[in-house]
A and B are shown apart, each in its own frame.
Chain A
């Protein structure tokens, strides 16, 4: 059809036509001098007394407008936040129990002087390769040893063997002695003999605990449920346990995954719930 062909011929020439139109209207491509002039004019337009496109009065208005707007916005946000922080409980997290992400507690381990790595690597007998591990364990143990253990909110739990039902606001004192005699500072936590002790800790968590699983750890019996629940008590110390490698094979990377067992602890590899992983390499 005629119109079809000519229409396509047309689109091919339309840009050329446009160019010629521009040329015939006498509108010329702006030169650098033109742009410089425009910029100058933008910076200060003497004719209309405009500085950067606005009159002095407008600038005043503009800046005031921005300030008012920002103040109002910050004020509104602050008001909303104030209401929120007024409503929120400062002692107990709002989300507890089933609605909390912390429903399943996590586990940590020491020594971990470098937070970006989970590898514990040292040469048996060469103290220069593991003294920083020792320091790290030591400082953590001290956190348990040299703190206040007396007072209204402390309770001696040596004789407790069952789930606590009363005085939940009091802290069960965690005695370092419970960690046994094999993993002590005097023996450099077994690192000298190539039998390193790794400290496991169960995260502070509002949940209650059931019986702990069968792991060769000190204290025997693992984390006792008497230390739970954590209710943001003053002086609370998470239960800890030492794990001792009796005879790690030199030069072999040991990839450890420690799981805490309790009725309410589910394990999920992807989400790394209720477990901690680290690697030990004794050279």
Chain B
């Protein structure tokens, strides 16, 4: 973006002194009373009106009319314009020569012009629609910044930032405005968008250089914070920022490359020996017949539709082409926390009364919890309630418990929500049983303890912490039958439960309590720093195990991926046991696939002796990954179906992605942190998280999941595949009619028959009746097998392959051509020319001077009469193509399924059938159409091609039946496109 001359110009122009003056002077300049207080909201409002919003004026976009003209006068459209101009020229030349010009040239010229304008308008409409959708996407990603105003930390829209605001920036954020740094902790910025330097540069509060771009105490708008945190005073906003000035300098250098082939065609025309105008019109016809004009519009419609649908499913696609790549994805490397899991600790299990109880961990938690009815739950829930520092933030009484915001540590919040859900009114209970003293959790003690004055007057000590540490301090335990002294059998069952829960990857907490006796009354002076109260001889009440549970939709999504041939690899920083447990929970590791360790345990042999053949799953730790050579990594990736990477760093994610790509996979990667951006860029599809993701990761990604949900990626894959399928279908449909359009010319030359189909009619088909049906295939729903196929091999499986050509051209196309020729021979014979008579007749037929050409009945035909008959043939050929295209459109709806199972629910397509027919009727029967070489056609000629249409439909249904009957059989290898 930053161009060299622009940069030097900028350096001379930049006259800033904000980085040189002291912070006190700066504060005075912006009326900031103190750094801690920041601006008042009145000041902020005043600054906002004075300086405007903190946003760049969007670069001058190309005016609409220029864009419009561009669609009108580039590439293919230019060719049609030229053709049209030549037709007009031919008309005027003939007008000068004979006074009465040749109206067919005039007509053709007008048709070509109309075609260019209509397709141009349509393309323009579609493009502006899709770009406005993309524009709206940009506004969907909220850009927030943390500022201090009125002495409060506030989260505001970056646009609202004003000069003088105290702004807090942390790693992963985009710098929201130009800032003078006043405080920093290991702060580094990536200035590449401004200066092109990619190395992160540290920024601190010292003034080091006169040049604003080089001094350390300025951070600029649109650059990214990659490390550390900083606080700064906003000195410039919006267009006045350094970035804003550069953006203003960068002028657009648009150069459209128009591919122009006109000269080549001119030469061929003369070589053929036709009059030059006729030859060019002829060639335009052939080109038009061969170029799938509707394809561009179809692609745009497909992508626009998909982008809309994806946004609806919480996927935000940054560039539309990414959707298509997503469809060919064969490996997804996914984060665990937040993507596969709900990103909130939840109580999953508890252990009391010598039994493990399961708690509901689903997102809604609608199931009733069985354990609450048991007696042992009461003391455990009391400890969980009282020995808890977490609290709900006020004013959320109407919010469902699980959605409420809380203060406190994730585990404590989980306990709080658990008891709130099961017992209720935690804060009331806490108030009724006030806390007398508390020792918070610390890593040396590994427990937390508090003493409460209960409602009934007694004093209760409650403790929670690491289970083994808690148990050490207990002498009794409680179960349904009351308190018992701890014995060996209790210890054994405790160990078993602890091991079991730990093995599920859960964080286990132990709970204990003790009723304190005299002298520990409510009035006793408890000392938390130097505990003067007993912390041993407690009563053990139970265990609780917490986990960040998988999202409900994830197991299905993973299963869908597996059936779609997509490998899901989990990459997480978590502990291997937790990672393994979650992988099992969501189905990334299936019950039948065992890791080396599991096989060893099952067979009772050491890990080293395990046969590699039995091992299908693996949990690789970051440490091991570090030691691996690329070859070893490749081996690991290729020889295990189910892979989990645990304890990995974000840098290692990049190594994993590269490894997958070496194996030929198309890789989608999720990421949220700053350090994930190299992996996101390296991946074929980078997926950032909308909620947890940093600004940097969102910029690096191709797609943003607004709900952070893994299942959304799978929906994206489905959409990507659908796009590819529908484009294929649309192309197959459009290409088919090329054969009945080209063969008349071929037989005209080879057999010397009068021309069966004219150029104008080809244009009517390609740019008229075929257009809307081709686009309507973009609206086609997915076939049932869409997520049961292997991913497309992006290198070998092309949009148009030889099977598609062989089906569209070789089979359906030839049947359509046969229909057209049948109609041609019928019309000719009914008027007097039998097939035998027609062969070799071309020269006589086209001779203007022969006015008494005899037909098979001996009738004599003048030139104009023959031409009239020829044009009737054009018309009937055109009508027969339209009618066989009905069948073609219906068979193009599916690639494998029968239309009877797939259904006709695509109403755009259904209306396209009607539209196509009405358009054909208008073309044939509108009064002035004879100027375009279209003749009135007797009604029965509309019915003659219908049996052919039915035949075509039946043929393809049979073909697809054989295809389904023998998967991977001959029919599939040769005709499944």
Q: Which of B374-382, B405-413, B856-864, B915-923 contacts A (4 or more CB under 8 A)?
A: B856-864
Instruction: Assess whether A10 is in contact with B699, with CB atoms less than 8 Å apart.
Output: yes
Candidates B56, B662, B825, B829; contact of A1 at CB < 8 Å: B56
* 10 closest A-B pairs by CB: A106-B862, A203-B860, A108-B852, A9-B1, A94-B830, A272-B864, A25-B661, A93-B832, A108-B851, A204-B860
Instruction: Assess whether A204 is in contact with B822, with CB atoms less than 8 Å apart.
Output: no
Please give the residue numbers on chain B whose beta carbons come within 8 Å of chain A beta carbons, in ascending order.
1, 55-56, 58-59, 100, 103, 138, 141, 143, 158-159, 174, 176, 193, 221-222, 243, 247, 318-319, 658, 661-662, 681-682, 684, 695, 699, 811, 814-815, 818, 821-822, 825-826, 829-832, 835, 844, 847-852, 854-855, 857-865, 868-869, 872, 938, 947-948, 951, 970, 973-974
Rounded to whole Å, the gap between the CB of A140 and the closest CB of chain B is: 11
Instruction: Assess whether B865 is in contact with A106, with CB atoms less than 8 Å apart.
Output: yes
Residues of B within 8 A of A80 (CB): 822, 947-948
Question: Which parts of A24-38 form the interface with B (CB within 8 Å)?
Answer: 24-26
Residues of B within 8 A of A1 (CB): 55-56, 58, 138, 143, 158-159
Q: How far is the CA of A1 from the CA of B83 in the complex (A)?
A: 45
Residues of B within 8 A of A26 (CB): 662
Asked if A170 lies at the interface with its beta carbon under 8 angstroms from chain B, I say no
CB-based nearest B residue for A119: B849
**With A3-B699, A102-B859 already in contact, 12 other A-B pairs whose C-beta atoms are closer than 8 Å:** A1-B143, A1-B158, A2-B174, A81-B825, A93-B831, A101-B869, A106-B851, A108-B862, A203-B861, A230-B858, A269-B100, A273-B864
Instruction: Assess whether A206 is in contact with B859, with CB atoms less than 8 Å apart.
Output: yes
CB-based nearest B residue for A272: B864
CB-based nearest B residue for A57: B970
Instruction: Assess whether A101 is in contact with B851, with CB atoms less than 8 Å apart.
Output: no
Instruction: Assess whether B851 is in contact with A276, with CB atoms less than 8 Å apart.
Output: yes
Asked if A61 lies at the interface with its beta carbon under 8 angstroms from chain B, I say yes
Asked if A69 lies at the interface with its beta carbon under 8 angstroms from chain B, I say yes
The 8 A CB mask of A7-20 against B (1 = contact, 0 = none) is 11111101001000
Instruction: Assess whether B831 is in contact with A270, with CB atoms less than 8 Å apart.
Output: no
CB-based nearest B residue for A72: B955
Interface of B is mostly: helix
Instruction: Assess whether B974 is in contact with A62, with CB atoms less than 8 Å apart.
Output: yes
Instruction: Assess whether A271 is in contact with B864, with CB atoms less than 8 Å apart.
Output: yes
Q: How far is the CA of A72 from the CA of B58 in the complex (A)?
A: 63
Instruction: Assess whether A93 is in contact with B830, with CB atoms less than 8 Å apart.
Output: yes
6 cross-chain CB contacts under 8 A: A3-B143, A6-B699, A25-B662, A94-B829, A106-B862, A108-B862
Candidates B1, B869, B938; contact of A5 at CB < 8 Å: B1
CB-based nearest A residue for B850: A115
Question: Which parts of A54-83 form the interface with B (CB within 8 Å)?
Answer: 58, 61-62, 65, 69, 73, 76-77, 80-81
Asked if A198 lies at the interface with its beta carbon under 8 angstroms from chain B, I say no
Rounded to whole Å, the gap between the CB of B918 and the closest CB of chain A is: 25
Instruction: Assess whether B830 is in contact with A95, with CB atoms less than 8 Å apart.
Output: yes
Residues of A within 8 A of B850 (CB): 115
Instruction: Assess whether B247 is in contact with A3, with CB atoms less than 8 Å apart.
Output: no
Instruction: Assess whether B829 is in contact with A12, with CB atoms less than 8 Å apart.
Output: no
Rounded to whole Å, the gap between the CB of A13 and the closest CB of chain B is: 9
CB-based nearest A residue for B159: A1
Instruction: Assess whether A25 is in contact with B829, with CB atoms less than 8 Å apart.
Output: no
Residues of B within 8 A of A112 (CB): 849
Q: Which of A84-92, A129-137, A186-194, A212-220 contacts B (4 or more CB under 8 A)?
A: A84-92
Interface residues on A, range: 35 or more
Residues of B within 8 A of A14 (CB): 319
Candidates A93, A116, A201; contact of B852 at CB < 8 Å: A201
Q: How far is the CA of A6 from the CA of B176 in the complex (A)?
A: 13
Instruction: Assess whether A2 is in contact with B222, with CB atoms less than 8 Å apart.
Output: yes
Instruction: Assess whether A204 is in contact with B176, with CB atoms less than 8 Å apart.
Output: no
Asked if A150 lies at the interface with its beta carbon under 8 angstroms from chain B, I say no
Residues of B within 8 A of A257 (CB): none
Residues of B within 8 A of A114 (CB): 849
Residues of A within 8 A of B222 (CB): 2, 5-6
Asked if A99 lies at the interface with its beta carbon under 8 angstroms from chain B, I say yes
Candidates A11, A58, A93; contact of B859 at CB < 8 Å: A93
Instruction: Assess whether A203 is in contact with B138, with CB atoms less than 8 Å apart.
Output: no
Instruction: Assess whether B970 is in contact with A61, with CB atoms less than 8 Å apart.
Output: yes
Instruction: Assess whether A3 is in contact with B973, with CB atoms less than 8 Å apart.
Output: no
Q: How far is the CA of A190 from the CA of B947 in the complex (A)?
A: 61
Asked if A100 lies at the interface with its beta carbon under 8 angstroms from chain B, I say yes
CB-based nearest A residue for B862: A106
CB-based nearest B residue for A10: B699
The 8 A CB mask of A99-123 against B (1 = contact, 0 = none) is 1111000111100101111100000
Instruction: Assess whether B56 is in contact with A4, with CB atoms less than 8 Å apart.
Output: yes
Asked if A178 lies at the interface with its beta carbon under 8 angstroms from chain B, I say no
Q: How far is the CA of A7 from the CA of B699 in the complex (A)?
A: 7
Candidates A109, A115, A201; contact of B847 at CB < 8 Å: A115
Q: How far is the CA of A1 from the CA of B140 in the complex (A)?
A: 13
CB-based nearest B residue for A108: B852
Q: How far is the CA of A128 from the CA of B221 in the complex (A)?
A: 96
Of residues A1, A65, A85, A238, which shows the largest number of chain B Cβ atoms within 10 Å of its Cβ? Answer: A1
Rounded to whole Å, the gap between the CB of A223 and the closest CB of chain B is: 13
Question: Contacts A88-B830, A271-B864; is A99 near B938 (CB within 8 Å)?
Answer: yes
Residues of A within 8 A of B159 (CB): 1
Instruction: Assess whether A65 is in contact with B974, with CB atoms less than 8 Å apart.
Output: yes
Asked if A232 lies at the interface with its beta carbon under 8 angstroms from chain B, I say yes
Question: Contacts A5-B1, A108-B851; is A236 near B193 (CB within 8 Å)?
Answer: no
Q: How far is the CA of A100 from the CA of B860 in the complex (A)?
A: 13
Rounded to whole Å, the gap between the CB of B633 and the closest CB of chain A is: 13
CB-based nearest B residue for A25: B661
Instruction: Assess whether A271 is in contact with B868, with CB atoms less than 8 Å apart.
Output: yes
Instruction: Assess whether B815 is in contact with A73, with CB atoms less than 8 Å apart.
Output: yes
Q: How far is the CA of A139 from the CA of B247 in the complex (A)?
A: 88
Q: How far is the CA of A84 from the CA of B658 in the complex (A)?
A: 67
Q: How far is the CA of A272 from the CA of B159 in the complex (A)?
A: 76
Instruction: Assess whether A3 is in contact with B141, with CB atoms less than 8 Å apart.
Output: yes
Instruction: Assess whether A203 is in contact with B851, with CB atoms less than 8 Å apart.
Output: yes
Rounded to whole Å, the gap between the CB of A163 and the closest CB of chain B is: 21
Candidates B1, B857, B865; contact of A232 at CB < 8 Å: B857
Rounded to whole Å, the gap between the CB of B103 and the closest CB of chain A is: 7
Q: How far is the CA of A76 from the CA of B817 in the complex (A)?
A: 13
Instruction: Assess whether A2 is in contact with B100, with CB atoms less than 8 Å apart.
Output: no
Q: How far is the CA of A24 from the CA of B56 in the complex (A)?
A: 36
Instruction: Assess whether A6 is in contact with B138, with CB atoms less than 8 Å apart.
Output: no
Residues of B within 8 A of A272 (CB): 862-864
Rounded to whole Å, the gap between the CB of B822 and the closest CB of chain A is: 5
Residues of A within 8 A of B684 (CB): 21
CB-based nearest A residue for B866: A101
Residues of A within 8 A of B849 (CB): 112, 114-118
Q: How far is the CA of A230 from the CA of B861 in the complex (A)?
A: 13
Residues of B within 8 A of A88 (CB): 829-830
Q: How far is the CA of A3 from the CA of B948 in the complex (A)?
A: 56
Candidates A101, A117, A238; contact of B868 at CB < 8 Å: A101
Instruction: Assess whether B831 is in contact with A101, with CB atoms less than 8 Å apart.
Output: yes
Instruction: Assess whether A93 is in contact with B857, with CB atoms less than 8 Å apart.
Output: yes
Candidates A11, A77, A106; contact of B861 at CB < 8 Å: A106
Instruction: Assess whether B138 is in contact with A3, with CB atoms less than 8 Å apart.
Output: yes
Q: How far is the CA of A24 from the CA of B667 in the complex (A)?
A: 14
Q: How far is the CA of A12 from the CA of B196 in the complex (A)?
A: 13
Instruction: Assess whether A84 is in contact with B826, with CB atoms less than 8 Å apart.
Output: yes
Instruction: Assess whether B699 is in contact with A24, with CB atoms less than 8 Å apart.
Output: no
Instruction: Assess whether A76 is in contact with B831, with CB atoms less than 8 Å apart.
Output: no
Residues of A within 8 A of B695 (CB): 2
CB-based nearest A residue for B177: A2
Instruction: Assess whether A106 is in contact with B852, with CB atoms less than 8 Å apart.
Output: yes
Q: How far is the CA of A195 from the CA of B977 in the complex (A)?
A: 74
Q: How far is the CA of A115 from the CA of B684 in the complex (A)?
A: 68
Rounded to whole Å, the gap between the CB of A34 and the closest CB of chain B is: 14
Rounded to whole Å, the gap between the CB of A238 and the closest CB of chain B is: 7
Residues of A within 8 A of B821 (CB): 77
Residues of A within 8 A of B868 (CB): 101, 271
Residues of B within 8 A of A2 (CB): 56, 143, 158, 174, 176, 221-222, 695
Rounded to whole Å, the gap between the CB of B722 and the closest CB of chain A is: 24
